[in-house]
């Protein structure tokens, strides 16, 4: 049985890990949630009694899945009976691929549309609607067990959006494609129509673990609940998250109440909590506790808990001077306080503001390196086969990368098998050996990847052009990647075509992180600088939760900081015909003893 010492887990963490039944774990920021989840998975793997059983872990991002697997393997635990990934990947792997024959819409086969191709299709359909003008951003939607819900809350646009989506769904039907939201909808439909699928899966899974439960959608709860109900307690649940960080409400995510979860799953579930914050100083915790909506208990427990943190709020700087002010704060952190660049984070509410902000910061503080938004110069669609090959192509063999590259090679072989490519006697080590032996002279990143793909398949004696799915993915990968490179060049990002720039995607992060508030969840930094804290952005003007959504966004923002926190509500940012944005009201009302 997997075991640990008292120094590795505290009493709260250890109690959650050894709990034999199902657990609903509310974890405050910095409480070691990922560590607890990692040890729980490791222990459950060690308790498996059959080679036919699996432990399943559902994470919000693929990056989180990679991090957890790496931690488990570092503990010396065999992960061959662990399945970990996003809910979309789970539904594809365990529900749609094996059982799609039972749905007429999918019975003749299907592919998942590439996000770039989806955007292009929606843009073409939106172009036909001049009034009201709509874009592909307006056409985001999410599925529920009863249909679809639009993410756009502007009533004047909703009729046009519905019309575009009807055309969009028909186009996907005609091309035998589905998008990511349809993955969830069809999985839910299959489980409802064929209860035997849930019963089968409940025998295969000993436990389902769900990370960041507060970002889970109704249909996702239903999918997981269906399997747990069918198991009648045979398959257990370990669900962890923080309801105060439920900031994806506009996309359908919400933090389920324990009573509703018990009713949905039909199984007994114990509730527990992680209340010790090991990340932030007591002053930082005091600050973000003000935005606590769910009375979560938080206790300062880290080595820096008595650190004299500086917390500032600037509502006087103008938009014209914003970059200069952020540059001043960055220089102060890096040069005066000797904070490593990778321990500084600059946040804003929306991606649209960050690309220009990153470019201007590079000019304002040229001696500092910035890891800005959307800086990958190639398609990062995790479901595209060639993205996995690109991961192998752009990383070098090294001890630190070995386990990750083995996982990529495993996924590579599995995807080839799904596409109908028979590779007898080829294992992960053989794939890595082929990859490691390829030597190319191309310096253009996309030229290099194209040549690498051709060389790898030539070495394996496979012509991928004769396999429709591989060829379709190949076209989608390079179309999307070309568009990404052109976008970066248009935004003034230098050397975005260079192979070195491509390889930076997998290099350890070294510069200052520039991110949205949503994108930084799970991160932690010595210094956090947040701008754009304006009513209509924080919270977004269309968010139905209003002030509650704003409090959650501020809670997430402030709780990323270990030592210092700088908040900015800049003046002079125009809101179309509605004048200038004003400062976020809930922030303006907070009478805190800020530093100068």
Rounded CA separation 234/231 (Å): 5
Rounded CA separation 382/411 (Å): 11
The residues, ordered by sequence, that sit 6+ positions from 447 with a Cβ below 8 Å of its Cβ are: none
Give the DSSP H or E segment for 13. Answer: helix 11-18
The structure tokens listed for 538 are 């924080």
571: left (phi over 0), alpha (psi -120 to 50) or beta: beta
The answer to whether the annotation marks 14 as part of a ligand binding site is: no
The structure tokens listed for 111 are 């592919």
Q: Are 199 and 172 in contact (CB under 8 A)?
A: no
The structure tokens listed for 283 are 């002053």
The structure tokens listed for 62 are 């693929």
The answer to whether the annotation marks 157 as part of a ligand binding site is: no
The structure tokens listed for 150 are 């639009």
What does DSSP say about strands 147-150 and 141-144: parallel, antiparallel, or unpaired? antiparallel
The answer to whether the annotation marks 30 as part of a ligand binding site is: yes
Q: Are 345 and 311 in contact (CB under 8 A)?
A: no
Give the DSSP H or E segment for 530. Answer: strand 525-530
User: What's the distance, CA 361 to chain centroid?
Assistant: 25
The answer to whether the annotation marks 27 as part of a ligand binding site is: yes
The residues, ordered by sequence, that sit 6+ positions from 8 with a Cβ below 8 Å of its Cβ are: 35, 39
Residue stretches of the annotated binding site for ATP = 27-34
Residues contributing to the annotated binding site: 27-34
């Amino acid at each position: 049985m997997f075991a640990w010492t008292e120094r590795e887990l505290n009493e709260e963490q250890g109690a959650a890990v050894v709990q034999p039944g199902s657990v609903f774990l509310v974890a405050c920021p910095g409480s070691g949630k990922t560590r607890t989840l990692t040890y729980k998975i490791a222990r459950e793997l060690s308790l498996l009694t059959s080679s036919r059983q699996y432990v399943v872990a559902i994470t919000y991002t693929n990056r989180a899945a990679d991090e957890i697997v790496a931690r488990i393997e570092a503990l010396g635990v065999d992960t061959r009976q662990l399945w970990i990934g996003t809910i979309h990947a789970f539904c594809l792997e365990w529900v749609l691929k094996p059982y799609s024959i039972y749905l007429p819409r999918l019975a003749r086969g299907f592919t998942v549309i590439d996000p770039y191709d989806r955007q292009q299709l929606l843009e073409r359909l939106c172009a036909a609607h001049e009034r009201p003008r709509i874009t592909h951003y307006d056409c985001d939607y999410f599925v529920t067990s009863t249909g679809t819900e639009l993410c756009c809350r502007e009533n004047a646009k909703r009729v046009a959006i519905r019309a575009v989506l009807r055309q969009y769904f028909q186009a996907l039907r005609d091309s035998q494609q589905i998008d990511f939201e349809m993955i969830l909808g069809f999985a839910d439909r299959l489980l409802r129509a064929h209860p035997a699928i849930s019963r089968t899966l409940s025998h295969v899974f000993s436990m389902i673990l769900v990370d960041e439960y507060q970002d889970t959608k109704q249909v996702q709860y239903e999918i997981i609940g269906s399997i747990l109900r069918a198991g009648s307690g045979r398959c257990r649940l370990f669900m962890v998250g923080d309801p105060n960080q439920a900031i994806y409400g506009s996309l359908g995510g919400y933090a389920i109440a324990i009573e509703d979860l018990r009713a949905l799953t039909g199984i007994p579930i114990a509730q527990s909590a992680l209340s010790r914050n090991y990340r932030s100083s007591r002053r930082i915790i005091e600050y973000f506790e003000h935005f606590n909506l769910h009375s979560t208990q938080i206790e300062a427990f880290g080595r820096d808990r008595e650190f004299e943190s500086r917390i500032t709020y600037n509502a006087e700087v103008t938009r014209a001077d914003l970059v200069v002010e952020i540059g001043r704060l960055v220089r102060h952190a890096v040069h005066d306080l000797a904070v490593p660049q990778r321990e500084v984070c600059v946040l804003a509410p929306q991606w649209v503001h960050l690309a220009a902000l990153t470019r201007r910061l590079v000019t304002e503080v040229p001696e500092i390196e910035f890891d800005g938004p959307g800086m990958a110069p190639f398609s990062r669609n995790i479901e595209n086969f060639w993205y996995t090959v690109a991961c192998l192509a752009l990383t070098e063999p090294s001890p630190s990368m070995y386990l990750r590259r083995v996982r990529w090679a495993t996924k590579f072989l599995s995807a080839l098998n799904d596409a109908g490519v028979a590779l007898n006697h080829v294992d992960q080590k053989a794939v890595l050996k082929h990859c490691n032996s390829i030597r190319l002279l191309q310096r253009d990143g996309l030229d290099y990847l194209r040549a690498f793909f051709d060389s790898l398949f030539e070495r394996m004696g496979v012509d991928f052009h004769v396999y429709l799915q591989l060829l379709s993915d190949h076209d989608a990968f390079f179309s999307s990647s070309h568009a990404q490179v052109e976008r970066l060049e248009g935004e003034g990002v230098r050397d975005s075509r260079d192979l070195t720039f491509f390889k930076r995607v997998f290099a350890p992060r070294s510069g200052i992180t520039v991110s949205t508030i949503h994108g930084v969840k799970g991160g932690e930094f010595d210094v956090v600088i947040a701008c754009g804290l304006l009513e209509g952005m924080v919270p977004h003007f269309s968010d139905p939760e209003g002030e509650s959504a704003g409090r959650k966004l501020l809670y997430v923002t402030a709780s990323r900081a270990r030592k210092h926190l700088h908040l900015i509500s800049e003046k002079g940012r125009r809101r179309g015909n509605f004048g200038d944005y004003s400062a976020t009201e809930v922030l303006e009302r907070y009478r805190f003893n800020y530093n100068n």
